[in-house]
Chains A and B, each alone.
Chain A
Amino acid sequence: MKQEICMVTNRQEYGNGLFALTLHAPNIAAEAKCGQFVHITCGEGNLLRRPISICDVEGETLKIVFQVKGEGTKWLSRRSAKHTVDVLGPLGHGFDLNALGERPVMIGGGIGVPPMLYTMKNAKANSASPTAILGFRNKDAVILTEDFEKVGDTHICTDDGSFGTHGFVTNVLEQHISKFTGICACGPKLMLKAIAQLAEKAGLPCQVSMEERMGCGIGACLVCACELKLRDGEQGVRYGHVCKDGPVFDAKEVVW
């Protein structure tokens, strides 16, 4: 966990309010694991940092992909080469690929797609044979597919059928589920819930990356609460925190 003032080395605009920045962050890049995130200061007027997942790590650089949602991300989208940004990271705990077997599947939905790229690369580097299933709203929202295809088998689907398979990631998963030894996923909660149900039915280990409104990003302020089941099957709930206990949780732990 480091605070680093990072030079932007590249900016890319995908359209539809989606942007990628590449940051020179030697200290953070050296520690970053797949599924972790960084917490970025977004301009003088916005007090809170914005949590953004790590899309890729190459040498001393980090790539982040984000969607403009408000003033903070709008500010961030206007950074370009030679600007600096104040970054905390890497934060949280990421995917445990060792628990997902030799043929893991990486599932991303929408803005949950970017973190699956570094995850898939790590799986391959771990000598697994990973597959990706990526879901987007429509063809204009499709991003990063060429990067995924370089790593392994990649299925793409869109909600409206304008690109790839017509349907949801869960349709593709259901069809191929017998080929996989484990699942990791990031995306909207409803998608994660449906994936968790399929995983349970198939008896596959499943890890999900959750999202919640966040404060400090390091586990001190306790705002990003995620409802979890009690350990040892006891009745009741407990709150984990997305920033420190997550963002990746075992799907069986989460109260859906």
Chain B
Amino acid sequence: MDLSVNICGVELKNPITTASGTFGFGHEYGEFFDLSMLGGIGVKGLTPTERLGNPAPRIAETPMGILNCVGLQNPGIDKFIEEQIPFLRQYDTKIIANVSGNTVEEYCGMIEKISDSDIDLIEMNISCPNVKCGGMAFGTQVNMVEEVVSAAKKYAKKPLIVKLSPNVTDISEIARAAVASGADALSLINTLLGMRIDVDSRKPILSNIMGGMSGPAVFPVAVRMVYQVRKAVDVPIIGMGGIRNGRDIVEMMLAGADAVAMGTVMFADPMAPVKALDELKEYMQKHGIEKVTELTGAVQI
């Protein structure tokens, strides 16, 4: 049984990666399972310098989901390169460095720097809903996507994955713009913008008023968008958003994903990726599937 998938020339041993922002730099979940079982690790979103993030509360629960407004708390790209890459390289898995900027110049600078470090794939986050400038603003308008991706691409010496926001009218249009501007692959979806109010205090639960929704509740939206993007472009897709188990992975791949990322589900069950890999293998065995890549886009309409 062949579980490997190829993302722009980088071979992942299996299609399971972790979603940026849910996995830190791997230390914590590494206490529960061997990080080498993962196809890849999407690390916490990096910015040019350290970011403190937003005040608490940064999380609100929703039916089978959460809203978060962490605000890209991270130690900055230099510390990541210096301290975290050596840690992650102890494991037999691929490193997906997720980068965010406030301006086109910041994206270019980050991508130039991270290209020269020992990572495998660059994921460019143009879809974070929790930061004041940049972030999602870049990912929601075609002309902005074109501007930032085409500029950043010039500095990318490793495959460039562009992470898309679901908070748009037409995801296919954004996907086409990203690919036309040089994206080597796409990842989707980032979180859906949401809000909750405490009815007793009549105040928003989140410090930032609004936040990004993730978890099983968003899964059908993610499947739909991956399906639409698969029809619109011909680059590898990493599908994410609410995946809980092996069957969800199969579903996301049938919709058109080449690989997937798991995230919020680990807050409920730290072992979720390990269990999901077993379930994926079981599914393949039961259905006589030799190569996991056979699943990609194989939905029958």
Residues of A bordering B, CB below 8 Å: 1, 3, 41, 45-49, 86, 88, 212-227, 237-239, 244
Contacts and interface: CB of A to CB of B under 8 A. Distances in A.
A45 B63 contact: yes
A-B complex: 4 closest residue pairs judged by Cβ atoms: A223-B59, A223-B58, A220-B24, A220-B28
A239 B73 contact: yes
Interface in B205-221: 205, 215-216
Contacts of A47: 61, 64-66, 215-216, 264, 267-268
22 contacts: A1-B32, A46-B61, A47-B264, A49-B268, A212-B56, A213-B205, A214-B59, A215-B267, A219-B24, A220-B29, A220-B266, A221-B22, A221-B59, A222-B24, A222-B44, A223-B56, A223-B59, A224-B58, A225-B56, A226-B56, A237-B52, A239-B52
B88 to A, nearest CB: 14
Given A47-B215, A219-B24, A221-B70, A3 B267 contact: no
Given A49-B268, A239-B52, A225 B58 contact: yes
Contact of B59 (A88, A215, A237): A215
Nearest to A214: B59
A222 B266 contact: no
Contacts of A48: 59, 61, 66, 267-268
Contacts of B86: none
B46 to A, nearest CB: 13
Contacts of B55: 225, 227
B268 A223 contact: no
Contact of A215 (B44, B68, B271): B68
Nearest to B44: A222
B53 A222 contact: yes
Interface in B263-300: 264, 266-271
B267 A49 contact: yes
A224 B21 CA distance: 14
Contacts of A217: 267
Contacts of B63: 45
Nearest to A1: B31
B23 interface: yes
B59 A213 contact: yes
